Structure 1
């Protein structure tokens, strides 16, 4: 996949590994991903989580026939983070024909849990 000129490029998100049963992505905690008080922005964590789930969902379908879209996400922010990087690990909880549910744990370099998220992905037949 080409990440150029996407949110992934803007936030510095890097794909570490991508398999059907586990996706790992990482993101820096820097000026692109901090909120004004200097901490990792919750929206950046949510974007990282949905990125991991969406990549995993694409691996579960035939991308020539189906598109996948995030249709719901929640995120519980457990610990604050000022700098360094965070890594998201996404695993599927449910893989169905029209929806998927992914669990995502975001941790820091010391393996401290920063955020836990769940993302529902819609699977849509391509038109035309």
Structure 2
């Protein structure tokens, strides 16, 4: 999606600003932390603990989807012009590996950055780098209220 040496992100956001926006939200409640911004990707981690496990001791699929939407929506909103906002209109997820403990890391990369829609792929991996979930998020680009 990007040309070497350039970035897709138009808005100047750093990790501290992204993490500050998360205070008092579901993002903070699940322990999600933004940890990396690259030229064409955004990275965050989430602990697999009592906050994010389902009753059988596995990472809850809904927690994985919350991480995925957090990453895709945040990245999408960094790629648009002032006066616009991205809102989610569809998300799907395939859970391919169970995770019981540790930290998962999600990475969002764009598949499509259009004037009215964006599509992001979010890959969530366990601490050993094995794919646990892959998600696709479609965002609408709309005027800010």
Q: Does 1:108 align with 2:137?
A: no
**How do residues 25-44 of structure 1 correspond to structure 2 at under 5 angstroms?**
25-44=44-63
Structure 2: state its 5+ residue gaps.
Answer: 1-16
User: Which ranges of 4 or more aligned residues in structure 1 deviate by more than 6 Å?
Assistant: none
Decide whether the 8 Å contact of 1:18 with 1:55 is kept in 2.
no
Structure 1: state its 5+ residue gaps.
Answer: none
Aligned residues: 126
Decide whether the 8 Å contact of 1:19 with 1:56 is kept in 2.
no
Alignment partners' CA distance in 1, 2:136 and 2:39: 17
Q: Does 1:77 align with 2:98?
A: no
Alignment partners' CA distance in 2, 1:103 and 1:18: 15
Alignment partners' CA distance in 1, 2:108 and 2:143: 24
Q: 1:86 aligns with which of 75, 96, 104?
A: 104
Q: 2:117 aligns with which of 85, 88, 99?
A: 99
Q: TM-score, structure 1 length as denominator? A: 0.94
Alignment partners' CA distance in 2, 1:88 and 1:76: 14
**How do residues 11-26 of structure 1 correspond to structure 2 at under 5 angstroms?**
11-19=30-38, 21-26=40-45
